[in-house]
Amino acid sequence: MLALLAKEPAHGYELRHRLARALGPLGEVLNPGQVYVTLSRMERAGLVRGDQVEQSAAPDKKVYEATPAGRDHLAAWLADSSWPKVAPAEFHLKLVAAAATGLADPSALIDLQRRELLRRLRKVQRLVEEDPGDLDGMLLLEGTALRLQADVRWLEACERRWRAGDKQ
Amino acid sequence: MTTVIQASGLSRHYPGDGSPVRAVDDVRLVIERGEAVSVMGPSGCGRSTLLHLLGGLERPSAGELTLDGRRVDGLSEAAWARLRRRSVGFVFQAFHLIDELSAVENVELPALLVGTPPQAARRRAMELLERLDVADRAAHLPARLSGGQSQRVALARALVNEPLLVLTDEPTGNLDSHATGELLKILAGLREAHQTLLLVTHDPRVAAIADRLLSMRDGAIVDDTRLDGGLSRQAALAQIAGWDA
Amino acid sequence: MPPAVRLITRLAWRNVRHRPWQAALLLFALCLSTSTLTLALAVNESGTAPWDRLHEATNGFHVDAFVTPRRDAAPTDEDVARARQQLADLRNAPGVVAASGPWRLLYATGEVAGKPTELRVQVRDASPAAVGQPLLTSGSWLDAEDTVVLEDGLASTLHVKPGDTVAIAGRSLTVRGTAMTVNVFPYPIDPPGTVWITTSTAQRLDPAAVAGETEFVELRLSSPQDAETFVAAHSGSITDDQFRADMHAWQMYRNASNGKLEFVSIALGFTGTMLAGLTIATAAVLVAGRMAAQIRQVGTLKAVGVTPGQLTWIQLIEYLALAATAAIVGLTAGALIFPLLARPLRVAYGAPEAAPITLNRAAIVAGVAVFVVVLGTVRPALRGARHSTLRSLVANVHQPPARRDYRASRLARLTGSLRLPLPAVLGIRAALRRPGRTVANAAGLTLGIAMVIIGLALNGKTADFRLTAAQEEAYPGEAAELTGLLDQFRMILFAGAALLLALAAVNAAVAAIFAAHESARNQAILRALGATPRQTVIAFAVAQLSACLLACALGIPLGLALFNSVAGDLGSAQLSARTYAAVAAVALLLYAVAVAAPARLLAKRPVTPLLAYE
């Protein structure tokens, strides 16, 4: 959300609309109230600033824009390559955000993320190589390895998508 | 550490419709002895062409290439062949075993090419096949080997002359999951033995064998990063545990 | 056109376009075989009972009777009239159903094409005779005074055509036509040459320049088999101290005709038969070779849902189109070339050549072309269609028969212990691993070697014949003509041998190209492993040479056996051991060059596309 505001100021309704578009089918489950709650939370944290705009025909509404602190926060988020559990949605948002704001190159994000994932995969594979005895432990490691592989493959899919996007 | 591969400005262009296709474009690359390097990137990014350039199967359009400190970009076909038989082992996705020769004959072939006496070559080939657990198939023709067995024979063939550099092109591309697992163990073993390896792949498991990852896009290396180091064993285990907790 | 047929037609066309050189080569071999077959059939038909054909065409005699004044006799006019009457009386003898004559037979000196020549002059009527009317081979029969018809061999040997002028006994005559007859052998086999003139022309000849005065009648009997009995019964009736009578049964002429140029006629027929047979065999080998390469495509097509029946049609259509083209080209080429053989054939057989093409023979040629193609198509196509789709798809990963593993590897070890250079060992191993492929390649070459042996044996026979001809210089004036004629025969035989050699070369080239094509991947692998281009070329050439060795081992005896079985009357082929060795050496050398050429081209190509070739 912050990323979308960093690109250009918007009011709550617009923001919700754009968010829904970027998230695709996931946007459908977005609670309209959540947007406003999050916005006010971010405003309290000083990441966004809201300006009341007077409108003649309609009730006044608040236009939000990102503050410098907000932009810094955004950059740090983009650069963070740790891979949380619900990776695909968040990483996808990052790519959308990076492309939207121009703060980072989506391809570079993908490379960064792949590097991190492969490091982990390598670690897991080495753990497997080191003690191949424990069957339960092996199963756990194997599960981890398979998830990491799946994520790397998904990154490849992202790469194709974003490269295709470049060319449009 | 000594440098095995040193490339600068390495390029390979093909004539295309209108503008030439830059399969490999201005690549700068240094690979030290004992390094295991994987190359990833989308299809058509020039990974295989780079591999072929490094092994002398293709000639660069421009740039310099040294192998083990020796300039090789201008070598003749025959000179490259002589260099290749001692210093470079190839492993291909499609195995590329010679159909008319049995497994062990395929393996001993490069040894015979460098002039190893036949008995010694046969002994060395059998040793390798044993190490790679395909010794029982030694007398079989490639048509009667499974994919995994074929690729292990191909790997044995690549290793028979203890080459400076082993180049693999999608080694698991034609293998099922189990055979891939077997091959991964072997490749990891090679890395542990400090065999210089270049793994062109899109299989994350193969890529994760390496100490170093090259990402290629449009013929250029866009990312070159080390995969080793990072988390300690404890930290890694904690991460895994935390993740799944 | 139903969609399936259109699809099939398009696929067949694509197939041809996809491998134009193979298709062109195949078409070439097929055309060569149909042309040769057309020629061979026409030659053989010309050589089939030539005397009988001419005899029938001229309504020839069963008995002829000559009355000649004895050398030291001085017959009076009355004697002559009496002798003539006795001769004429034979026409009414019991058993005679038709007759012509008495005709006068003179010997005169003439000048044909500016060359003084002894001539036999038959005096006949302008109107066609009931028996023994000479068969015109060009122009027309005698129709006016001062015209002449030349025996066909004389006219063609001395290059005289209707409309030209020749001089006989000092009189200039216009040539009306050329003709053949059963009681005269073609010039220059049996000099002097024969001409026909009318009685009125004969009367204008300078009597001083005419020698000899023979009269003869030609008789047809109701039972031809009794001709010899007829001769025995009547030959004593005319002979007296003034005249000598000679009577001959038709069988004598027929037997004599077989002996004259027997060698030539056998050689011609033999060359024709061999050429036709071997070209057909070559085409069959080619077709079969190409079919083997298509098994994989069969798998792909089946995978997308083309039915086995449609598949067979695809291939049949492709090859039937080739066969039809080949038949048309062959018949046309044969018809165009055949007239060039006409003269030697007429001289050799003493009868007019057969028509270049008859409906029957055209049907045979077309039938053979189709047969060759179907033979090559049906079996592999059916096999491909019966193969599981999967098996056809992986058929490009050649699956050598497993049961040969052990034996081959023992042989391979043997080659290893011979301390041959590695490329050669590799080549031999590759050949041993694929004995079937080696034999298939060898088959084409074997035919080629057999062709060479046959050609050489034939040439040897021609040389023998020349020697005897040189000894037979009975007519010194005609010796040059006879030599010229023999040279023509030699040319024909050499052309036949050259054709055989050309086929052998085509065979070798095809075998080499197929083999190079197939070995492309192996060569690329070898190079990836560090074999130099030179080593890969040597390995390939050695592998192929084993096929050539096999071909020499089989081809030489095959050629001899074929020659000896067909040319039995000529005596067996006699070639020195040196010749065999030379043939084998030259064949190996040429084949090595032939196979090295495509292999070298391959060696110059970069490795990577070859490896990606699958």
Amino acid identity for residue B38 in this structure: S
Q: B162: part of which helix (H) or strand (E)?
A: none
* Predicted local confidence at residue C403, as pLDDT: 41
> Closest approach of chain A CAs to the CA of B77, in angstroms?
36
For the residues B176-205, what does the mean pLDDT come to?
A: 89
* Predicted local confidence at residue C395, as pLDDT: 44
Q: Are residues C446 and C323 in the same domain?
A: no
Of C235, C259, C283, the residue at which a domain comes to its end is C259
| Nearest CB partner across the interface for C522, out of B57, B83, B98 | B98
> Has residue B78 been placed in a domain?
yes
For chain C, say whether B245 makes contact (Cβ under 8 Å): no
C416, pLDDT greater than 60: no
For chain C, say whether B96 makes contact (Cβ under 8 Å): yes
* Predicted local confidence at residue B102, as pLDDT: 83
B167, pLDDT greater than 90: yes
* Predicted local confidence at residue C436, as pLDDT: 66
CATH number at residue B233: 3.40.50.300
For the residues C371-380, what does the mean pLDDT come to?
A: 69
Cβ B81–C405 below 8 Å, yes or no?
A: no
| Nearest CB partner across the interface for B243, out of A85, A149, A152 | A85
* Predicted local confidence at residue B32, as pLDDT: 92
> Which carries the bigger pLDDT value, residue C507 or residue C50?
C50
For the residues C106-124, what does the mean pLDDT come to?
A: 85
B-C interface (Cβ pairs under 8 Å ≥ 3)? yes
DSSP calls for B73-123: TT--HHHHHHHHHHHEEEE-TT----TTS-HHHHHHHHHHHTT--HHHHHH
What are the chain C neighbours of B112 within 8 Å (beta carbons)? 422, 425
* Selection from C245, C216, C207, C211 nearest residue C119 by Cα: C211
| Nearest CB partner across the interface for B98, out of C417, C525, C608 | C525
Q: Which chains touch A (3 or more CB pairs under 8 A)?
A: B
> Closest approach of chain B CAs to the CA of C419, in angstroms?
9
* Predicted local confidence at residue A160, as pLDDT: 79
Cβ C533–B81 below 8 Å, yes or no?
A: yes
Q: How confident is the model at residue C360 (pLDDT cuts 50, 70, 90)?
A: confident
* Predicted local confidence at residue C440, as pLDDT: 66
Of C398, C428, C462, the residue at which a domain comes to its end is C398
Instruction: Look at A41-55, B7-21, B169-183 and tell me which has the smallest mean pLDDT.
Output: A41-55
Q: Residue B3's CB: how many other CB atoms inside 10 A?
A: 14
Full-model pTM: 0.64
State pLDDT tens for residues C296-314.
Answer: 556 666 666 667 677 667 7
**Facing residues of C106 across strands?**
C121
* Predicted local confidence at residue A138, as pLDDT: 74
For chain B, say whether C529 makes contact (Cβ under 8 Å): yes
Of C338, C367, C398, the residue at which a domain comes to its end is C398
> Closest approach of chain B CAs to the CA of C607, in angstroms?
6
* Selection from B94, B104, B219, B86 nearest residue B159 by Cα: B86
> Which carries the bigger pLDDT value, residue B66 or residue A133?
B66
* Predicted local confidence at residue C385, as pLDDT: 56
* Predicted local confidence at residue B33, as pLDDT: 92
- Note down the domain range covering B85: 3-92+165-244
State pLDDT tens for residues A72-89.
Answer: 777 777 766 665 554 566
Number of residues in chain A: 168
Q: How far is CA A127 from the centre of its chain?
A: 30
> Closest approach of chain B CAs to the CA of C528, in angstroms?
7
> Has residue B176 been placed in a domain?
yes
* Predicted local confidence at residue B157, as pLDDT: 92
Mean pLDDT highest for which of B14-23, B32-41, C1-10? B32-41
> Which carries the bigger pLDDT value, residue B202 or residue C242?
B202
Question: Which chain B residue has its CA at the smallest distance from C430's CA?
Answer: B100
| Nearest CB partner across the interface for A115, out of B184, B188, B213 | B213
For chain C, say whether B123 makes contact (Cβ under 8 Å): no
What are the chain C neighbours of B98 within 8 Å (beta carbons)? 430, 522, 525-526
C260, pLDDT greater than 70: no
Tell me the average pLDDT of chain C: 76
Tokens linked to B169: 């092109």
Q: How confident is the model at residue C400 (pLDDT cuts 50, 70, 90)?
A: very low
DSSP calls for C466-506: HHHHHH--SSHHHHHHHHHHHHHHHHHHHHHHHHHHHHHHH
For the residues C10-20, what does the mean pLDDT come to?
A: 70
* Predicted local confidence at residue B42, as pLDDT: 82
* Predicted local confidence at residue C404, as pLDDT: 40
Q: Are residues C447 and C588 in the same domain?
A: yes
Domain count, chain B: 1
Cα dist from B110 to B33, B101, B148, B193, whole Å: 22, 13, 21, 21
Q: Are residues C34 and C100 in the same domain?
A: no
Q: Give B 173-232 residues with CB within 8 A of chain C.
A: none
> Closest approach of chain B CAs to the CA of A89, in angstroms?
17
Q: Are residues C49 and C92 in the same domain?
A: no
Q: Are residues C42 and C72 in the same domain?
A: no
What are the chain A neighbours of B184 within 8 Å (beta carbons)? 125
> Has residue B114 been placed in a domain?
no
Question: Are C448 and C508 within 8 A, CB to CB?
Answer: yes
Cβ C530–B157 below 8 Å, yes or no?
A: no
For chain B, say whether C520 makes contact (Cβ under 8 Å): no
Instruction: Look at A128-142, B149-163, C353-367, C469-483 and tell me which has the smallest mean pLDDT.
Output: C469-483
Q: Are residues C173 and C144 in the same domain?
A: yes
* Predicted local confidence at residue A83, as pLDDT: 59
> Which carries the bigger pLDDT value, residue C593 or residue A25?
C593
> Has residue B206 been placed in a domain?
yes
> Has residue B128 been placed in a domain?
no
State pLDDT tens for residues C333-344.
Answer: 888 888 887 777
Q: pLDDT tens digits, chain A, 168 residues: what are they?
A: 566 666 566 666 666 677 666 666 555 556 666 667 777 777 777 677 666 665 555 555 667 677 777 777 777 777 666 655 545 667 777 777 777 666 677 788 888 888 888 888 888 888 777 766 666 677 777 888 888 888 888 888 888 777 765 544
C506, pLDDT greater than 60: yes
> Has residue B104 been placed in a domain?
no
What are the chain C neighbours of B105 within 8 Å (beta carbons)? 409, 412, 429
Domain count, chain C: 3
Q: Are residues C406 and C336 in the same domain?
A: no
Cβ A141–B240 below 8 Å, yes or no?
A: yes
- Note down the domain range covering C247: 59-259
Question: Are C203 and C146 within 8 A, CB to CB?
Answer: no
> Which carries the bigger pLDDT value, residue C593 or residue B230?
C593
* Predicted local confidence at residue B129, as pLDDT: 93
* Predicted local confidence at residue A86, as pLDDT: 46
Question: Are C410 and C386 within 8 A, CB to CB?
Answer: no
